[in-house]
Structure 1
Amino acid sequence: MKCRVKLFVCMCFSILCLFFTLSVEAYQTSLDSVIYVSQKIAGDWYDANGNKVLSISNGYINGCRIVDGTDFAGGYPGLGVFIIQEAQGRKAIHLEWLGFDEHKTLIMNKKDQLTSKFPKEHYESVHGVYLGMTRQQVIDLLGIPNSIDKIYGREILKYTDLGFQIRTEYNMVTEITLTGNGARLDKSGLGIDSSMVDYYNFYQFNKMPSELSKDKYQLPFSIGHGEFIFFGGNEVSLTIYNT
């Protein structure tokens, strides 16, 4: 009996080892896959001063061939490391891509914010703060926040007196949340006390939000221009994310 148990345990262990090996091999990134991913972010990318920093096309970055890649995660948004062959040797570039349309953005090497459109534009705002704005621009406009929370590399700038808070990632505004009656979306004038009918009529959502679920999370509704609005927890958020 003991022999049978030992044999069963050994078989299970062998199967697990085989499964782990196959799983690791499945996550190996082929060059074709790396080049395929690069097509998601193909085009010219500019810094805040309008200088072209990256040009991505047909398996090349800045004229240098993509030869490898690793650590890819997500689809869109997503991130990964591209390795290119320069004259002096290989170079790794960490890229994270997010946003749509006017807010399509690349974060290079976890610090440099690049845009596919220059000058960068926005549609909606709150107290003059808009998506894509830099952290420093927010502070220059509104002053020091009442408090700042740091969560997994992100910052939440809380302007409690003004009734809203701002989420930044890599020093870029990616979400603005109305938390009090004192804050309004600048273009529409709507706030947390406005009805779903008012939101639907002004922004022309492709679907009517539920008034009965106003205080519960509802998937983001597109307002065009690469910007989205979602409702939840008696708050209204303006964001570059569609999920």
Structure 2
Amino acid sequence: MNNNKNIFSWLIKASLMLFIITFFTFTWSLDVEASVNKINLNYTIMPYDYAMSRLKNITGNWYDSKGNLVLTINNGYINGCKVMAYLSAGDAGGYRIKEENGYRDIGLVIDHNNYKKFLYLDERIVLRPTKYPQYVESINGMYLGMSMDDLLEKYGEPDRKEKKGKAFPSEWWIYNGAFSVFFVGDMASTIVLPYGSTFTFDKCGLSARDMEKSFRKHYKESANYGAVKIDEGEYIEFKKGTVELTVYN
């Protein structure tokens, strides 16, 4: 009889423990979903080891367009908070960190199209790994990584602006007949000149009036097609009616 009571008592305790584990797991999942839904409805919570492997690609200091330090990522911590997991959401994603008052989910996406590593924070802010923009070539004082404020100071308001993309803010600034600049967040990622523009590339001295082969010769580009590589993450593209200085290849 006593054995039956002990078994019955053990079953009740086991059931209660299972309920508690299920409840907290479900509650934690809801908390994650509330945060990650802003990134993507389809996400997967990845384990700690996977999160650490992802962090290796973005270790270091990250600055906004004004040179302010925003993130420090090192040894499994983001701004001094321990990383607990990676939240995978297709092309997007983020990390769960442990703060003093609990857990917090932040969106962090690296732009793999260029070695300069633009980092997108919470789908609102673009960060770079250097306090000031690093570039080789520029066009009439305009350079890749230039901020909107810097362009406004130099050339004033554009004739029109065209917003692009829904997941992350990006925008074309168009100066009619002269040039246009594509911003990702608050940093210039492409500068476009129409053929015939009098604007010149500051380092090589060439302009959109020069032949494509002149650019290839100056930058010692042996291929007669595709983008001309200036440096890692800096390219000159030749498209129908335009010449572009861009981070994309």
**Secondary structure, in 3 states, of the residue corresponding to 2:213?**
helix
Contact residue 42 and residue 56 of structure 1 kept, 8 A? yes
**Deviation readout 1:201-225 (Å, 9 max, x if unpaired):** 22233x4223xxxxxxx3x332115
Is residue 178–residue 184 contact of structure 1 (8 Å, CA) maintained in 2? Answer: no
Q: Choose the corresponding residue for 2:176, options 148, 157, 160.
A: 160
| Distance in 1, Cα, partners of 2:118 & 2:53 | 18
Task: Give, in whole Å, the separation in 1 of the partners of 2:173 and 2:64.
Answer: 24
Residue 50 (structure 1) shift: 4.5
Match of 2:118 among 89, 96, 105: 105
Contact 1:196 1:208 in 2 (8 A): no
The residue correspondences of 1:1-16 to structure 2 (distance < 5 A) are: none
Q: Scaled by the length of structure 2, what TM-score is found?
A: 0.71
Per-residue deviation, residues 33-54 of structure 1 (Å, max 9, x unmatched) = 2221111111122345544332
Q: Deviations over 1:174-193 (max 9, x none)?
A: 11111131233222232333
What is the alpha-carbon distance in structure 2 between the residues aligned to residue 48 and residue 146 of structure 1? Answer: 23
2:223 to 205, 208, 211: 208
What is the aligned length?
203
Structure number with greater Rg is 2
Distance (Å, rounded) in 2 between the aligned partners of 1:106 and 1:36? 16
**Does 1:171 find its partner at 2:186?**
yes
Deviation at 1:26, TM superposition (A): 10
Taking the aligned partners of 1:91 and 1:159, their CA distance within structure 2 comes to 41
CA RMSD across the alignment: 2.5
Contact 1:106 1:113 in 2 (8 A): yes
Aligned counterpart, 2:247: 240
Matched, 1:129 2:126: no
Gaps of 5+ in 2: 1-41
TM-score normalised per structure 1: 0.73
**Residues 130 and 66 of structure 1, relative CA distance in 2, 3 Å threshold:** same
- CA contact under 8 A between 2:65 and 2:147: conserved in structure 1? no
Aligned twin of 1:221: 228
- Partners of 2:44 and 2:88 within 8 A in 1: no
Which residue of the partner structure matches residue 185 of structure 1?
201
Stretches of structure 1 that go unaligned for 5 or more consecutive residues are: 1-24, 211-217
Q: Distance in 2 between matches of 1:209 and 1:235?
A: 17
Give the fraction of aligned pairs with identical amino acids, expressed as a percent. Answer: 29
1:33 aligns with 2:50: yes
> Structure 1: how far apart are the matches of 2:200 and 2:160?
20
- What is the distance in 2 between the residues matched to 1:39 and 1:161? 44
1:240 Cα offset (Å):
1.4
- Letter aligned with residue 209 of structure 2: D
